[in-house]
Structure 1
Amino acid sequence: MHGHENHPIPAPREPEDAAPAAAYGPCVLLKHGEVFLKGRNRHRFTERLHDNLRVALRGVGGSTWIKTAQNVTVLGGQVPRDALVERARRVPGFNTVEPAVRVPSTLEGISAAAADVLGEVAAGRRVRGFAVRVRRRDKRFPLTSSRMEAHLGSHVLGAVPGLHVDLTSPDVTLSVEIDRKETYLSWERLPGLSGLPVGASGRALVLLSGGYDSPVAAHRAMRRGLACDFVHFNGAPYTNPSSVYKAYALARELNRHQPPGELYVMALGTAQKQLAVAGAGRLQVVAQRRLMVRTASALAARTGAQALVTGDSLGQVASQTLANLAAVDEAAALPVLRPLIGWEKQEIIDEARSIGTAGISVLPDEDCCSLLAPPRVSTRARLPQLRSVERRLDLDEVVEALLGSAQVLRPGADGEEDPRDPAAGRCAAPV
């Protein structure tokens, strides 16, 4: 519905998290996803969900409030409702996001609001057929759900010319949820991100490249409740910093869906050169991947991450055969999660478009994975051969050098510098 924020009866001023007074005003109903299925610890998931919602609301431009009503979160404040809807749709854990109004739970108040809402919807969308669906959370309300539906339908027909009841395929369905003190009326159900609240499942470290796959994998991990930090390996000093700019932009976009995670940038070029000199040959790409997960595991131990996340898809490229993935896993000290393992490339690209990372991933860059890559990559790398190459290097020393020279950025956080500034985000000490 358009323009309802300017309803002649003003919304009350209420601080964040205060229980709003029972007065006419716009709000947003957020229906819980898997949190609804939790048992005795459901309140912990709900608290985490609300904490994440508060983070998403930072800088929205006005005071807000959050209220819980039987597996539904109600959001409102001195902010345009469209802005609240947009912020809420970023937060994993909500199945649906519904623009709504709230009124006192009186027959007169609900009836007037129903006519007002459907009148505005009909004018804005030029709809004619409508249906009313009532849910009584408060069973003490004097009319049953079916009687209330009939009453509201009759009232709307008398108050809004040109509308008719259509219970089979209505142009708009007005949902009415009656609580003890307040009633919520909504007319549109927008999809949320669903899943679990970010942080409810622990913390992970994402190996973030500049391509389509790893950002989508990170987004999927967030929706399973993992708070994510990111590590990006670039080919410096043998490549330009374009991949770093892309990784920063991708992490910033992903951080819209969680309390901002940190981005660690590591220059892998010198170590890649060492592997090539050590005779990696056709094993070069797999040996690089093993070094990445070995370094990421060491970083995770320092940052509290409990798993690594990659964008691997089985068989998509030569380095992602089952044998090569197993060889990479053997070098990791933590579980390696691959949310996209069974996805096709087009599915990944479509998902990237839907979450807003595709436009960044398509930008040109110099990918470190192609640096020193052999013409043909081994599809069945064997551990004895890989270990033989690795023994020619001091791996502990290589890993410590990578950790010690890492840049640490926090994309999306207030006051974060642009990584194109040479001084931006440099560590004062090794991570």
Structure 2
Amino acid sequence: MPAPLESVPPPQDRDGAGSGLGELCVLMKLGEIVLKGSNRKLFERRLHNNIRNSVRDLGQIRLSQRGSGVIIVRRPGASDVEVARIAERMADVMGVVWVHLVRRVDKDLDTITDVAVRSMADLQGSFAVRARRRDKRFAMTSSELAGHLGSRIVEAYGYPVRLKRPDHTLYVEVDKDEAFVFTDGTPGQGGLPAGMSGRGLVLMSGGIDSPVAAHRMIRRGLKVDFLHFSGMPFTGPESIYKAYSLVRQLDRFQVGSRLFVIPFGKAQQQLKSSGAERLQIVAQRRLMLRTAEALADDLGAECLVTGDALGQVSSQTMANITALDDAVDLPILRPLIGMDKTEIMDQARRIGTLAISELPDEDCCTMLTPRQVETAAKIGDLRQIDRRLDADELAEHLLTTAQVHKPSFLGEAAPARVRAAGA
């Protein structure tokens, strides 16, 4: 997070008052939420709760809604460094479009001018001033205030004014009881508050795709849990470590994530013994989906989420995707379905999961893979395999072996071996 006003000397006391710059706090701009109608308050209430949860390890905060689509987060008495840490967390909260570190000052023209001019010291290049008065009783209009501040900055430093694509932008927003002065901010996640669209269960491999799929669905308001199938007892725990690290990284965006791990190696061995042959991969994915559906029922999840992208691998042809949908009644969401690998990797890099996904491991998907994989599986053939295995009973048995972890980015962790319904 780039720190606005970084050219200004640090305040003499913890809230900035000693420097005359006012209190440093966090201003957030909302996006899609402001378009909601009569249920907008529900979205805002969920967002406020998510904001508080995301910084619960950083101390008590004060949160207030200002006008249309603006939230202010304060922590009186905190140092500038502590407030900057809160701003970093806010950039990961779904529903927030922009995050700014701002100076909260008296709604007085001389005070606003003094802080605005001092905030632009020691910069290089062109600048522009964007002013907005939410309180229409303020003596100057927005354009008059911008012109006034711009002229004072030119007098003080001689910077050139450039209204289009300036090197630096100074923002001033005048509210009912105060004003906020700040420079450039950081883009947020956008989307909807996590949990506003219900619950989902993500089938989490150790690869690149499924974490990106999870992020995209959290951004659309789902609160998700995660299910990982390991190759144990025939592989080591490396894939579990990767899944744990990936979920911990994704927990930044929703807080309170749970990871369920099921050893799948023996079930794969049963599938191989059943004569699945070329259908092995699709048949085992159907079994995974059945197990995931049983877990989702215990958790109250309303959908399953996978990282499938059409045509990316042999199991993700249109025919095979249709055969997978046949295995369960719950809807299967595939947010990456129309993306190519380069797009998915770019998003994985942006959300911080790519480096983790690229770590070496041996998961269940690499085990017992047939030399040739069926690209146009027939649903009737797969149902026969399900009957030979008694797939529903096997899925219930697999669920009893689930182990749940809580990989919190806040540093909390609570592993326990439990039946899913007791998680």
Kept after mapping to 2: 8 A contact 1:275/1:390: no
User: Which runs of 4 or more aligned residues in structure 1 lie more than 6 Å from their structure 2 counterparts after TM superposition?
Assistant: none
Matched AA of 1:98: H
Report the counterpart of residue 6 of structure 1 in structure 2: 10
Q: Specify the code of the residue in structure 2 equivalent to 1:290.
A: R
Q: How does 1:348-387 map to 2 (within 5 A)?
A: 348-387=344-383
Identify the residue that residue 135 of structure 2 maps to in structure 1: 138
Instruction: Evaluate the alpha carbon distance shift between residue 137 and residue 361 of structure 1 in structure 2; reply closer, same or farther with a 3 A threshold.
Output: same
Tell me, in whole angstroms, the C-alpha distance in 2 between the residues paired with 1:36 and 1:429: 38
Who is 2:30 aligned against?
32
Instruction: Say which of 109, 112, 117 aligns to 1:110.
Output: 112
Q: Which runs of 5+ in 2 are unaligned?
A: none
Residue 316 of structure 2 corresponds to 320
Aligned residue for 1:19? none
Give the 3-state SS of the residue equivalent to 2:293 in structure 1. Answer: helix
Instruction: Return the letter of the residue paired with 1:406.
Output: A
Q: Distance in 2 between the 1:109 and 1:274 partners?
A: 75
CA gap 1:430/1:204 in 2 versus in 1, 3 angstroms: closer
Across the aligned residues of Structure 1 and Structure 2, the Cα RMSD in angstroms comes to 1.9
Deviation at 1:269, TM superposition (A): 1.1
Q: Which amino acid aligns with 1:227?
A: K
Question: Which residue of structure 2 aligns with residue 49 of structure 1?
Answer: 47
Kindly tell me: are residues 177 and 429 of structure 1, through their superposed partners in 2, closer, same or farther at Cα, counting changes over 3 Å? closer
**Aligned-partner Cα distance in 2 for 1:311–1:102:** 44
1:414 deviates by 4.9
CA distance in 1 between partners of 2:142 and 2:346 (Å): 41
**C-alpha distance in structure 2 between counterparts of 1:266 and 1:376, whole Å:** 26
* Residue 240 of structure 1: aligned partner: 236
Equivalent in the alignment of 1:199: 195
Could you tell me the TM-score, scaled by structure 1's length?
0.91
Identity of aligned residues (%): 48
Question: 2-side partners of 1:268 and 1:107: how far apart?
Answer: 68
DSSP-derived class of the 2:416 partner? coil
Determine the structure 2 residue equivalent to 1:252: 248
1:163-202 matches, cutoff 5 A: 163-202=159-198
- What is the letter of the counterpart of residue 50 of structure 1? H
Equivalences for 1:83-94 in 2 at 5 Å?
A: 83-94=85-96
Quick one: structure 1 residues 178 and 380, their matched pair in 2 at CA, closer, same or farther if it must change by over 3 Å?
same
Question: Which segment is superposed worse, 232-241 or 217-226?
Answer: 232-241
Alignment partner, residue 289 of structure 1: 285
1:394 equivalent in alignment to 2:396: no
Change in Cα spacing, 1:254 to 1:168, as seen in structure 2 (3 Å) is closer
Matching of residues 147-162 of structure 1 within 5 Å: 147-158=144-155, 160-162=156-158
Partner of residue 97, structure 2: 95
Q: Conserved in 2, the CA contact under 8 Å of 1:294 and 1:332?
A: yes
Call closer, same or farther: CA 1:326–1:64 in 2, change over 3 Å: same
- The answer for the alignment partner of 1:67 in structure 2 is 64
Q: Aligned equivalents of 1:147 and 1:370: distance in 2? A: 66
Looking at structure 2, the residues matched to 339 and 429 of structure 1 have their Cα atoms a distance apart, in angstroms, of: 26
Choose the corresponding residue for 1:303, options 296, 299, 306: 299
Q: Can you list the C-alpha shifts for 1:373-402, whole angstroms capped at 9, x where unaligned?
A: 111110011011011111111223211211
Q: Any idea what SS the aligned residue of 1:391 has?
A: helix
- Report the Cα distance in structure 1 between the residues aligned to 2:313 and 2:171, rounded to whole angstroms: 49
Amino acid at match of 2:91: R
Letter in 2 for 1:384: G
CA contact under 8 A between 1:406 and 1:430: conserved in structure 2? no
Counterparts of 1:198-237 in structure 2 under 5 Å?
198-237=194-233
- The CA distance in 1 between the partners of 2:31 and 2:16, in whole Å, is 29
Note closer, same or farther for the CA distance 1:32–1:430 as it changes in structure 2 (3 Å cut): closer
Where structure 1 has 5 or more consecutive residues not aligned to the other structure, the ranges are: 14-22, 418-423
Shift in Å, 1:254: 0.5
- Is the 8 Å Cα contact of residues 405 and 430 (structure 1) preserved in structure 2? no
Query: What secondary structure does 2:389 align onto?
Result: coil
Matched, 1:275 2:277: no
Q: For the Cα contact (< 8 Å) 1:4–1:26, is it kept in 2?
A: no
In 1, Cα distance between equivalents of 2:110 and 2:228 = 59
Answer yes or no: is the 8 Å Cα contact 2:170–2:181 preserved in 1.
Answer: yes
Distance 1:38 1:136, change over 3 A: same
Residue 291 to residue 169, structure 1, CA distance change in 2 (3 Å)? closer
Q: Give CA deviations for 1:193-252 in whole Å, capped at 9, x if unaligned.
A: 000000010110000000000000000110000001000001111111111110011011
- 1:150 Cα deviation from its structure 2 partner: 1.7
Cα distance in 1 for residues equivalent to 2:145 and 2:85: 32
State the SS of the aligned residue for 2:88.
Answer: helix
Query: Using the alignment, how far apart are the partners of 1:76 and 1:236 within structure 2?
Result: 48
Post-superposition shift, 1:3?
6.1
Q: Which AA in structure 1 matches 2:139?
A: P
CA offsets, 1:282-341, max 9 Å, x none?
000000010011110110000011110000000000000011011111112211000100
Say if 1:404 and 1:430, in contact at 8 Å, map to a contact too.
no
**1:5 and 1:248 mapped to 2: Cα distance?**
42
The offset of 1:157, in angstroms, is 2.8
| CA-to-aligned-CA distance 1:393-426 (integer Å, 9 cap, x gap) | 1223211211111101111165415xxxxxx422
1:332 match:
328
Q: Secondary structure in 2 aligned to 1:408? A: strand
For 1:6 and 1:64, how far apart are their aligned partners in 2?
Answer: 22
Relative distance call for 1:256 and 1:5 in structure 2 (3 A) is farther
